[in-house]
Amino acid sequence: MSRTNVFLFSGQGSQYYQMGKELFLTNQTFRKWMFKQNEIMYDLTGESLLNHLYDQKRMKSELFDNLTFSHPAIFMVEVALAQALIEGGRTPDYVAGTSLGEFASAVVAGVLEVDEVIRILTTQARMVTAHCPPGGMITIIDNPALFEQEPILHENSELASVNYHQSFVISGTDEGLAVIQRYLDQQEKLYQRLPVRFAFHASYLDVVKPFYLDTLQGLTLRKPQIPFVSSVTGGILDELPQDYFWEIARQPIRFPQAVQTLESIGSHDYIDMGPSGTMKNFVHHNLPQGSTSECHTIMSPYSQDAANLEKLLGQNV
């Protein structure tokens, strides 16, 4: 049985300066969509995201954690890459995102338009920056059961996501995460502080809920034209509730359940649209034994983006 295409979209934490630069210089469709989205961003904010993202003085290793730019930047490169694949002849049979990535998933599925999402993301970034306490997110490489077993973790943070059986993410204030980092260092546990200044997927966002829901009320959410796999519910949604794009920021991510849903349907080519290849890694660790699905990535901090894209398009001939 042939495999179907699942387009995967990652969220905050996957970003870095210069992401997608190689495709921007070499792929006409990618460049066209980046310019198109940048014009929308400029009309809304007076800022050129392209000038910021591709500033030659910015190194890939430099921390890219300003929500004003990182929020729309992740969305823009993922949408542009998806369009490059689609116009190249490789179309999605399913879309799935996590957190911020669900906005890109919704655009590709026809639920929202690009200009609507860029407006929402700039509004969300402004609200969170102005009203939410400083904080962050940490990926811990260990059994997620550790979160409930270890008081230092669940007393100083909230569980934001289970990536797979040996990886989970916590959200907390700067003070709480400092306590946790000392514990993790003492226990010699592997972890990574994500390039995010606020504690998403946790109660620390609740202060902006009424204002953000007001923003969402003005949206018309269309029915997905491509099966939309939710990392909020873990299932396929035929229709999105009006508060859905609040839930993707506030609720824990249920990506393993989303992969289980997809694997129950059949065999897939999972194609990671994210800038870092993290979704490919997460899918790989969530595939059941005996699965014939395959995982692919295109963008990474180590380049080869253009070659990876051409390879995937060539496989579709």
Of 108, 136, 168, 148, the closest CA to residue 12 belongs to: 136
Q: Give the torsion sign (CA, 129, 132, 133, 139).
A: negative
Confidence at residue 316, expressed as pLDDT on a 0 to 100 scale: 59
| Domains within the chain, CATH numbers bracketed | 10-131+202-315 (3.40.366.10), 135-193 (3.30.70.250)
On average, the pLDDT of the chain sits at: 95
pLDDT reading at 315 higher than 80: no
Q: What pLDDT does residue 206 have?
A: 97
- For the whole model, what pTM was predicted? 0.95
List 10, 14, 99, 276, catalytic entry: 99
Say how far apart CA 12 and CA 274 lie, in whole Å.
Answer: 10
Q: What confidence category does residue 2 fall into, taking pLDDT thresholds of 50, 70 and 90?
A: confident
Is residue 1's pLDDT more than 70?
Answer: no
pLDDT greater than 70 at residue 99 = yes
**By three-state DSSP, how is residue 140 classified?**
strand
Q: List pLDDT tens digits, range 256-275.
A: 999 999 999 999 999 999 99
- The amino acid occupying position 3 is R
Residue 99: active-site member:
yes
Predicted confidence (pLDDT) per residue in 132-188, tens digit? 999 999 999 999 999 999 999 999 999 999 999 999 999 999 999 999 999 999 999
Residue 43 has pLDDT above 60, yes or no: yes
Q: What is the pLDDT of residue 221?
A: 95
118: Cβ–Cβ under 8 A, 6 or more apart, which residues? 37, 40, 41, 44, 72, 75, 76
